[in-house]
Amino acid sequence: MTPRHIAGASLAAAFLVAVATATVPALAAAAPGAVLTVSPAHPDASVASGTAYFAHTVAAGGRWTDEVSVVNTNDSSITAWVNAVDGITSIRTGAVYSARAVAAARAGTWVRPDVVSVTVAPHKQTTVIFTVNVPVGASAGDHLAGIAFESTQGSRSAGITTVLRSVVAIQVRVPGAAAFQLHLYGATLGPLSTTGTSGVTLDMEDVGGLLGKPRLEISIVGPAGYHRAVTVDLDTMLPGDRIIDEVLWADVLGAGSYRLSVTEDGSGRHGAAFVSTTVLPTAVQPSDQVTRPVAGAAPPVASKSFPAWVLFSGLAGGAGAAGLAILLVLSARHRRAGHAGMSR
């Protein structure tokens, strides 16, 4: 069984950014909803996703230069700021990118676009050159950055200025010994902080050097012979990022003592189980977002919960050039523990 992902994001995501109290100069009269399409100008046929984002292996101390194809398919001209940004792990897993207002502190500092803004006429295309300089002391493994093209023209409603941006990802792998390694710092059972319904809260980090998508085996044993085990597939986690995620549980958890066991098992990895005991003083009800068991049907699916920060996503085309639309409220408090997440 796998969860229904609510907050996952692809490496080549297009972002819808809502900036509270932001002010930006109106350099172009782009229509509401107008966004630039960005992708590698010279796709790497040797990489499966080479048409969607850049993926290169570069030794520490090395550098390379490439170009981003920037296309305006709209009927109005679009002017956009051009910024290098850090790739980060969403608090619900999945790769997302730091806001323009947040200075790059990780792999984003390696990337240098040759312009600070670009204007693209209606139904026209241009290219933006960039250079990646990998520091001499860069650690072995995966490093994720992006180049964001954020519209300088926003629409304002109810005190919120909404602007659009597109991000093309840049994944740099520095040669050397590295692996994806998930570490669970904690796992608790009970009412979730975001919904108040039954679920499992996970405190975890990718302590290795590679990107990875954890697969968790979660087992709960409780009173009156209760026992359920599910498999939960999470989205991408970046090295060094520690997050607290929540998984909805499909059953009522009655009052009593429970044993929770969580094991990570994906791509041949299998670690020691994290085991905890929880005593629930009262029953906790499940969320309506979780599929209920039906007589003769398969067990219910464990679903990912909505994030604590406001985020709505939807697929808009193929898994490559198209991406996910993501709403970020920049007035949110930034979580920083070797990464930058967002909370309400």
Around Cβ 125, how many Cβ atoms within 10 Å? 14
0.85 surpassed by pTM: no
The fold adopted by the segment(s) 182-280 is Immunoglobulin-like (2.60.40)
Three-state DSSP class for residue 127: strand
Identify which of 156, 155, 67 has the alpha carbon closest to the alpha carbon of residue 118: 67
Around Cβ 336, how many Cβ atoms within 10 Å? 11
Between CA 185 and CA 206 the distance in angstroms is 11
Between CA 258 and CA 307 the distance in angstroms is 25
Between CA 272 and CA 152 the distance in angstroms is 50
* pLDDT tens for each residue of the chain, 344 residues long: 333 322 333 333 333 333 332 223 333 455 556 789 999 999 988 777 888 999 999 999 999 999 999 999 999 999 999 999 999 999 889 999 999 989 999 999 999 999 999 999 999 999 999 999 999 999 999 999 999 999 998 777 788 878 789 999 999 999 999 999 999 999 999 999 999 999 999 999 999 999 999 999 999 999 999 999 999 999 999 999 999 999 999 999 999 999 999 998 765 677 788 999 999 999 999 988 665 443 333 333 333 332 322 222 222 222 232 232 233 322 222 322 222 222 22
Between CA 338 and CA 240 the distance in angstroms is 6
Three-state DSSP class for residue 224: helix
Q: Contact, 170 vs 111, CB < 8 A?
A: yes
Tokens 């693209």 identify what position? 120
Three-state DSSP class for residue 52: coil
The fold adopted by the segment(s) 14-178+308-342 is Immunoglobulin-like (2.60.40)
Between CA 165 and CA 85 the distance in angstroms is 12
Three-state DSSP class for residue 110: helix
Q: What is the DSSP letter of 340?
A: E
Q: What are the residue boundaries of the structural domains of the chain, listed by start?
A: 14-178+308-342, 182-280
* pLDDT value at residue 296: 31
The kind and range of the H/E element at 215 are strand 215-221
Question: Are 14-178+308-342 and 182-280 in the same CATH fold?
Answer: yes
* pLDDT value at residue 41: 95
* pLDDT value at residue 255: 97
